[in-house]
Amino acid sequence: MSDHPQPHLRRLAAGILAAGIVAAGLVGTGNVAAAASSSTAPAPASNPTSTYAPEDDFTANWTREHALEIKPDQTNTKPFIDPEFPVMSDKVWVWDTWPLTDLDMNPVTYKGWHVIFSLTAPRDEFFGDRHWVARIGYFYSRDGKNWTYGGDAFPDGASPGGREWAGSTVITNGNQLEAFYTASGKKDSFGCACDPLQRLVNSPGKIHADKDGVWFGGFEDHTVIAEADGEMYQTLEQSESGPIIYAFRDPFVFRDPADGEIYALFEGNNPGVAGTHTCDSHEIGDVPDNHDVPDDARYYTGNIGLMTKTSKGQDYTGWKLLPPVLSAECTNQQTERPHLTIEDGKYYLWTISHKFTFAPGLTGPDGLYGFVGDSIRSDYQPLNGSALVLGNPEEAPLQNYSDYVMPNGLVESFIDTVPDGSGGVVYGGTLAPTLELELDGATSTLVEEHPFAYIPALRNIAGEP
Ligand code: FRU
């Protein structure tokens, strides 16, 4: 999350914000083309990784060794966003956003309409408090650039939780949609920063469209499909002795072409009572002799979880938790919104993370981090040696967040908090310019900046309206 339920984390966030304000005078103009052409970084080889069956218990590590290699440069730093950015809705703040996709991770149009889902909150809520009133809203567009706000995706009160947090939405059969998201908090917790419970939910719906727009039916039945089990994924209770924010959220549903089965990635923490973890050599890696692992690093246990659909056919309510595919234990507490693209047989595993969630003794910018492997469960290697793919500029550390990579290398994200150039900040709550990555084995390079909120589909379903 960008804002934080626990009081000490709110203070930390305020500190980061203050740093952004102080640095505001340094804002300059970014130029991606110049950035890409001036790249001199050596390309890490894309070595084949060891692969394992999805049900296996092998978990790759994002180690302290990797994180020590984080070096922001022009190939991995996002261009500055002018504080005069366009706003896509004057009704709602917009943050975490995902396109309607098919099961093969392709953004699709339905009858020629692009559709995206976003976490939304009324603009009269304080921007930092939006998480506690989050609803999944939707937008539609003919051109994938100019979006019309369609309202809430689900009927009021349908969710088993208090707030609706991030997820994914797939079109499965005809006009059948399956929404997956995080029910945050208990049923009565809307508006309250009180209850960090997180459960994964499925709800089936139908998409309809005519020449004037898009609307939904269904989305009335909401089933909890996964809860942290304490054996593979930390429960809320196990996390409570720890000092930092907890996660079991953000399901991303896809079909693995290797076996045709349906899986979901999600964000979790390693199981066990916070503080009982130890920083072992496979989590630390080969660090320089003078690198200390502070004691408190053991509290940082982010992972990327996996589960597989067990219910048959068009029933998306039965799932089985599998061990995490990636662990950031002793490196980072949050591996948010994990998702996947597959290119040339390589599995690119993406996640977003914050500077403040790196374990003590490590640092990296808020932004997009990535790994590459040869199957969904493999010995993922960090892209660029460190996993840093796209970070915020140092002078605008909270500029944008929640990057989502599409199979064509385009990356959408939302504008968070931008220095205004005169000592203040502007809250975003709208989509940022889309960026484009070029992938070459284990190397990623920022190659282009596209218009704000540009999310073009890769396939059309059901013809024109
Ligand atoms: C990322 C995130 C997600 C979560 C949502 C809550 O920005 O923290 O992990 O679902 O925001 O607002």
1 lies in a domain? no
Provide mean pLDDT across the span 446-463: 96
Binding site membership of 354 for ligand 1 (Cβ less than 6 Å): no
Looking at the structure of the chain, the number of domains it has is 1
In the predicted model, is pLDDT for residue 273 greater than 50?
A: yes
Binding site membership of 1 for ligand 1 (Cβ less than 6 Å): yes
Out of 163, 337, 355, give the residue to mutate to test ligand 1, the one with the largest number of ligand atoms within 8 Å of its CB: 337
Residue 110 is part of which domain span?
A: 7-461
Query: Average pLDDT over the chain, rounded to whole?
Result: 91
| Bridge partners (DSSP) listed for residue 180 | 168, 202
Q: Quick one: which of 316, 350, 331, 332 has its CA closest to 247?
A: 332
In the predicted model, is pLDDT for residue 310 greater than 90?
A: yes
* 421 secondary structure, DSSP code: S
Q: pLDDT of 61-77, one tens digit each?
A: 999 999 999 999 999 99
Out of 3, 96, 168, 201, give the residue to mutate to test ligand 1, the one with the largest number of ligand atoms within 8 Å of its CB: 96
* Contact of 276 with 127, CB cutoff 8 Å: no
d(CA 133, CA 292): 41
SS3 assignment, position 368: strand
d(CA 132, CA 170): 25
For residue 201, give the CATH number of its domain.
Answer: 2.115.10.20
* Contact of 410 with 456, CB cutoff 8 Å: yes
Q: What pLDDT does residue 45 have?
A: 52
Q: What pLDDT does residue 279 have?
A: 98
76 lies in a domain? yes
d(CA 342, CA 312): 25
212 lies in a domain? yes
Per annotation, catalytic residue among 256, 336, 379, 436: 336
* Ligand 1 atom with the shortest distance to the CA of 131: 12
2 lies in a domain? no
3-state helix, strand, coil in the chain (%, to 5): 10, 40, 45
- Catalytic residue status for 143: no
> pLDDT band at residue 365, thresholds of 50, 70 and 90?
very high
SS3 assignment, position 24: helix
Q: What pLDDT does residue 44 have?
A: 55
Binding site membership of 249 for ligand 1 (Cβ less than 6 Å): yes
Portion of the chain with pLDDT greater than 70, in percent: 90
In the predicted model, is pLDDT for residue 30 greater than 90?
A: no
| Bridge partners (DSSP) listed for residue 157 | none
124, 129, 133, 136 alpha-carbon torsion, rounded to 10°: 90
Per annotation, catalytic residue among 3, 96, 403, 449: 96
Cβ-count burial 301-312 (b if 16+ within 10 Å, e if not): bbbbbbbbbeee
Q: What pLDDT does residue 2 have?
A: 47
Provide mean pLDDT across the span 208-216: 98
Binding site membership of 309 for ligand 1 (Cβ less than 6 Å): no
Q: What pLDDT does residue 464 have?
A: 83
226, 229, 231, 232 alpha-carbon torsion, rounded to 10°: 30
Binding site membership of 182 for ligand 1 (Cβ less than 6 Å): yes
Provide mean pLDDT across the span 72-94: 97
